């Protein structure tokens, strides 16, 4: 091999090495800058997650206020409940109807009542494991019923009928 070729190869290797070293140095020194931060677990836990939770809660409250303003079942007006964590005892007179929000649970304790509502299935009998499809079906005492479609519920067929209810509802 001639001296010229050896010199050319040596220069090429030297230029390549300098280029790789320069790029590596630039990459190593520029990550995690103020303009381009490196995301860490502490950033996710202490900054981003609280911001996302606050934004979600604001959006949720705004939607709940909008629904309450439209007469939805999420408000807390007289004869209405939106507290999903506690059961309330309702005493109904013959012909009174309880219309519920999705996810409400109802248990007939005393008296008699029938399923009510515009859509099928009216209720889900969680105790019996069956759907109550037709309106006017008599409820079984001490069975837990789940409402899966808004405005479905129960109608009392005797005075002083007592039900336990958890979730959003209105009485008419």
Looking at the fold, whether 109 and 153 belong to one and the same domain comes out as: yes
Higher pLDDT, 127 or 40: 127
Looking at the fold, whether 88 and 45 belong to one and the same domain comes out as: no
Residue 83 confidence (pLDDT) above 60:
no
Distance, CA of 170 to CA of 172 (rounded, Å):
7
Both structure tokens of 169: 């509802």
In a domain, 75, yes or no: no
State the CATH number of the domain containing residue 155.
Answer: 2.60.120
What average pLDDT does the segment 133-154 reach?
A: 89
Where is mean pLDDT largest: 1-5, 75-79, 155-159, 165-169?
155-159
Looking at the fold, whether 58 and 10 belong to one and the same domain comes out as: yes
pLDDT of residue 154: 94
Looking at the fold, whether 121 and 59 belong to one and the same domain comes out as: no
pLDDT of residue 67: 64
pLDDT of residue 75: 38
Q: Under a CB-based contact definition with an 8 Å cutoff, are residues 85 and 165 in contact? A: no
* Predicted confidence (pLDDT) per residue in 28-68, tens digit: 666 666 666 677 788 888 888 889 888 888 888 877 777 66
The structure's pTM equals 0.52
Q: Under a CB-based contact definition with an 8 Å cutoff, are residues 73 and 80 in contact? A: yes
Cα-Cα-Cα-Cα torsion 84, 90, 93, 97, nearest 10 degrees, comes to: 0
Overall domain count for the chain: 2
Looking at the fold, whether 65 and 84 belong to one and the same domain comes out as: no
Residue 135 confidence (pLDDT) above 60:
yes
What average pLDDT does the segment 67-81 reach?
A: 49
pLDDT of residue 4: 77
Looking at the fold, whether 7 and 51 belong to one and the same domain comes out as: yes
What average pLDDT does the segment 141-162 reach?
A: 92
Looking at the fold, whether 86 and 165 belong to one and the same domain comes out as: yes
Looking at the fold, whether 157 and 95 belong to one and the same domain comes out as: yes
In a domain, 116, yes or no: yes
* Segments forming the whole domain that contains residue 22: 3-69
Compute the mean pLDDT over every residue in the chain, rounded to the nearest whole number: 82
């Amino acid at each position: 091999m001639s001296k010229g070729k050896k010199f050319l190869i040596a220069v090429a290797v030297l230029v390549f090495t300098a280029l790789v070293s320069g790029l590596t140095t630039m990459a190593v020194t520029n990550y995690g800058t103020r303009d381009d931060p490196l995301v860490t677990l502490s950033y996710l836990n202490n900054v981003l997650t609280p911001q996302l939770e606050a934004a979600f809660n604001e959006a949720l409250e705004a939607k709940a206020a909008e629904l309450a303003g439209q007469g939805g079942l999420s408000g807390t007006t007289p004869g209405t409940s939106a507290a999903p964590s506690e059961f309330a005892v309702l005493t109904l007179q013959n012909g009174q109807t309880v219309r519920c929000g999705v996810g409400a649970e109802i248990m007939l304790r005393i008296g008699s009542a029938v399923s009510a509502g515009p859509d099928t299935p009216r209720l889900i009998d969680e105790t019996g494991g069956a759907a109550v499809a037709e309106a006017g079906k008599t409820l079984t005492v001490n069975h837990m019923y789940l409402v899966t479609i808004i405005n479905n519920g129960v109608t009392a067929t005797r005075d002083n009928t007592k039900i336990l209810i958890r979730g959003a509802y209105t009485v008419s």
